[in-house]
């Protein structure tokens, strides 16, 4: 990445392998929050998953890739290397960084990735065809800066446009007021011209006055921004939480100074134009009376007022559209009631949970403990928690009985592993068929439940019940669809529900069970049940970490935070522009 560490060093090549020492590099945030900015942290030991690791380096502030990373470990390239240290799921999705050669186009990059994908599938045909690791595998590439800024770039462009419109309204207001002032000073200018002053000197004076008036405004803007930035950092939406803090630095100050001088120069040209057009004879005949400066100047000021009001109306209309979109988004049907719903995750890190049976046993025991709590109505586990950011387990599949198609053309769906009472806990309605058997595990073996989006896209106009889904060409038995449930929102509110397949965790040999999410329906405020719920997990095994504990209402608020943030800023800009327009109109109307 080219970023030198703040302290210590990078991970070394010899620290990757079966007999390599256990070392880590820490992020700046982890070093500050967990180690208290210890200047002697390099060389000390920390415990991860009950195993000791040596700190060899600390990254500087602002280095945050992948976003939110707190600890960097050497990546083992095979499962045998990873298993002795901690029991985690094998690597299936990895990101790779590479420097592009000069002159390489995006089309050439995409073509090369397609060629690599074909070569890997050809080298491992059994894995590519049997539903193994390479089932549906594809190597995709893109530019890093587009990935990092892709989420916030459209919003920042809109906000930048709004800021530009507010600046335009302020500058038009300034030009209008200076024009009114210049019109009132026509006799003074005529006297100076009659005494021999050159019109070029008059223009220089007008522009200089405009710049001098703009500089205090720029300084006031910097002062207001200094305090506003503190509020923005305290109120940043979740979409910006992993980015460096907003700060005013030398670049911002230089940009502000240059923009202030430029606006003062450009919009000071209007009074300068009035000064150039002063008629000495007509101005001196007025006898010192204040007048509007002629029909041309009056029309120019009227046009400026119209432009200023137009700018403020554009911002008001934009704010109104954002408000309508926000209200519509806030009223989005999640597919389940979010009230009194608590969510959390547990990551199994002990070698005792190396098999699917031991993992399932742990979660079943935790669920039994949770159901004994008076404040818990229902509880279930799932691999995908609703409204949780992150990647989904998207898998290609085929419908048994239909003509086989190449892997690249097979339909895809997200596969979620859930416990048998997941639908009752979350409150997802049953649309057709049945759900997993709550009493008999064998009755749920080989059965899947799909959502309505899956049924509409894969089986349009027909009943999906009884159809079998196969994963990979060698999956002869397949999975039988026994029920259709309502679609729920996944990781984003503004996105239509995707096709979803639910598998029961009672009969699965899936390594994703090492990191499962809990959904708990409570009888009262779920925040009051957090401590008791965590205690039940620790009662089963106190060494397993519980994290990402949030209520569903908190997840909903987090999903709405970016839109709420944009609405507040655009609304503020619209109000400022409207106030500026009103002040300019009132001031100018007095002199017409």
> What is the rounded CA–CA span in Å between residue 516 and residue 514?
6
Q: Is the pLDDT reported for residue 99 higher than 60?
A: yes
Q: Is the pLDDT reported for residue 76 higher than 80?
A: no
238 Cβ contact list (under 8 Å, min separation 6): 558, 561, 562
Which helix (H) or strand (E) is 56 found in, with range?
Answer: strand 51-58
> What is the rounded CA–CA span in Å between residue 237 and residue 242?
10
Q: Is the pLDDT reported for residue 362 higher than 70?
A: yes
The tens digit of pLDDT for each residue in 418-447 reads 998 899 999 999 999 998 876 655 556 788
Are 206 and 275 a contacting pair, CB within 8 Å?
A: yes
3-state secondary structure 370-422: HHCCCCEEEEEEECCCCCCCCCCCEEECEECCCCCCCHHHCCEEEEEEECCCH
The tens digit of pLDDT for each residue in 113-126 reads 889 888 887 887 76
Average pLDDT, the chain: 82
Query: Tokens 């991860």 — which residue?
Result: 48
The tens digit of pLDDT for each residue in 510-541 reads 555 677 899 999 999 999 999 999 999 999 99
Q: Is the pLDDT reported for residue 61 higher than 50?
A: yes
Of all residues in the chain, the percent with pLDDT exceeding 70 is: 82
The tens digit of pLDDT for each residue in 198-207 reads 777 877 887 8
> Nearest Cα to 566, choosing from 147, 221, 162, 252?
162
Are 452 and 431 a contacting pair, CB within 8 Å?
A: yes
Strands 479-485 and 447-451, how do they pair? parallel
The CA-CA-CA angle for residues 504, 550, 245, to 5°, reads 125
Report pLDDT for 67: 75
Report pLDDT for 425: 94
Residue 84 binned pLDDT confidence (cut-offs 50, 70, 90): very low
> What is the rounded CA–CA span in Å between residue 89 and residue 193?
85
Residue 286 binned pLDDT confidence (cut-offs 50, 70, 90): low
DSSP class per residue in 485-542: E-----S-TTSPPPPEEEEEGGG---GGGGEEEEEEEESS-GGGGHHHHHHHHHHH-T
513 Cβ contact list (under 8 Å, min separation 6): 348, 356, 359, 360, 363, 383, 417, 505
> Nearest Cα to 384, choosing from 548, 567, 257?
548
Q: Which residue has the higher pLDDT, 351 or 475?
A: 351
Q: Which residue has the higher pLDDT, 509 or 112?
A: 112
Q: Is the pLDDT reported for residue 81 higher than 50?
A: no
Report pLDDT for 35: 93
What is the rounded average pLDDT of the residues 560-566?
84
> What is the rounded CA–CA span in Å between residue 387 and residue 267?
49
Report pLDDT for 209: 83
- The answer to which of 43-57, 378-392, 506-520 has the lowest mean pLDDT is 506-520
> What is the rounded CA–CA span in Å between residue 355 and residue 511?
8
Q: Is the pLDDT reported for residue 288 higher than 50?
A: no
Report pLDDT for 381: 93
What is the rounded average pLDDT of the residues 374-386?
92
Are 137 and 396 a contacting pair, CB within 8 Å?
A: no
Residue 93 binned pLDDT confidence (cut-offs 50, 70, 90): low
427: left (phi over 0), alpha (psi -120 to 50) or beta: left
> What is the rounded CA–CA span in Å between residue 380 and residue 1?
41
Q: Which residue has the higher pLDDT, 421 or 302?
A: 421
The tens digit of pLDDT for each residue in 210-264 reads 888 888 988 998 999 888 888 777 776 655 665 666 788 888 899 999 988 888 8
């Amino acid at each position: 990445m080219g970023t030198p560490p703040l302290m210590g060093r990078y991970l070394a090549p010899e620290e990757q392998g079966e007999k390599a020492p256990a070392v880590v590099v820490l992020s700046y945030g982890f070093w500050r929050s967990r180690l208290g900015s210890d200047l002697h942290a390099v060389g000390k030991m920390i415990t991860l998953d009950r195993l000791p690791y040596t700190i060899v380096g600390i990254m500087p502030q602002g280095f945050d890739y992948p976003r939110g990373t707190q600890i960097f470990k050497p990546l083992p390239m095979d499962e045998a290397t990873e298993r002795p240290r901690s029991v985690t799921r094998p690597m299936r999705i990895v990101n790779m960084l590479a420097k592009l050669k000069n002159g390489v186009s995006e089309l050439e990059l995409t073509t090369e990735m397609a060629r690599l994908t074909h070569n890997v599938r050809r080298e491992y045909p059994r894995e590519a065809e049997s539903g193994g690791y390479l089932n549906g595998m594809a190597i995709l590439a893109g530019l890093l800066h587009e990935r990092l800024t892709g989420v916030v770039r459209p919003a920042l462009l809109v906000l930048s446009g709004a800021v530009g419109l507010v600046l335009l309204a302020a500058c038009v207001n300034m030009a209008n007021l200076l024009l009114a002032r210049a019109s009132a000073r026509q006799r003074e200018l005529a006297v100076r011209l009659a005494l021999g002053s050159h019109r070029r000197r008059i223009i220089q004076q007008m522009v200089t006055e405009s710049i001098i008036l703009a500089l205090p405004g720029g300084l006031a803007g910097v002062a207001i921004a200094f305090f506003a930035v503190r509020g923005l950092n305290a109120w940043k939406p979740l979409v910006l939480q992993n980015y460096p803090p907003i700060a005013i630095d030398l670049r911002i100050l230089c940009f502000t100074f240059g923009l202030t001088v430029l606006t003062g120069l450009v919009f000071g040209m209007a009074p300068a134009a009035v000064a150039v057009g002063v008629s000495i004879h007509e101005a001196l005949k007025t006898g010192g009376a204040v007048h509007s400066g002629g029909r041309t100047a009056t029309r120019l000021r009227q046009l400026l007022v119209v432009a200023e009001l137009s700018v403020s109306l554009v911002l008001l209309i934009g704010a109104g559209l954002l408000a309508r979109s926000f209200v519509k988004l806030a009223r989005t049907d999640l597919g389940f009631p979010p009230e009194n719903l608590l969510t959390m995750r547990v990551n199994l890190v002990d070698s005792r949970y190396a098999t699917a049976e031991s993992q399932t046993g742990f979660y079943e025991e935790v669920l039994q403990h949770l159901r004994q709590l008076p404040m818990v109505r229902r509880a279930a586990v799932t691999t995908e928690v609703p409204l949780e950011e992150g990647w989904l387990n998207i898998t290609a599949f085929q419908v048994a009985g239909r003509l086989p198609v190449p892997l690249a053309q097979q339909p895809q769906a997200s596969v979620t592993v859930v416990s048998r009472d997941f639908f009752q806990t979350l409150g997802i309605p049953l649309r057709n068929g049945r759900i997993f058997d709550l009493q008999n595990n064998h009755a749920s073996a080989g059965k899947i439940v799909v959502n309505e989006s899956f049924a509409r896209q894969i089986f349009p106009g027909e009943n999906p019940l009884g159809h079998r889904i196969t994963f990979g060409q060698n999956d002869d038995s397949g999975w039988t669809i026994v029920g259709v449930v309502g679609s729920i929102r996944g990781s984003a509110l503004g996105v239509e529900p995707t096709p979803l397949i639910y598998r029961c965790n009672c009969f699965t040999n899936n390594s994703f069970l090492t990191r499962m999410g809990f959904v708990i329906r409570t009888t009262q405020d779920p925040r009051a049940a957090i401590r008791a719920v965590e205690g039940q997990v620790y009662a089963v095994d106190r060494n397993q970490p519980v994290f990402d504990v949030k209520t569903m209402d908190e997840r909903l608020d987090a999903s709405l935070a970016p839109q709420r943030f944009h609405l507040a800023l655009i609304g503020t800009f619209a109000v400022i522009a409207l106030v500026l327009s009103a002040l300019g109109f009132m001031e100018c109307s007095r002199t017409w």
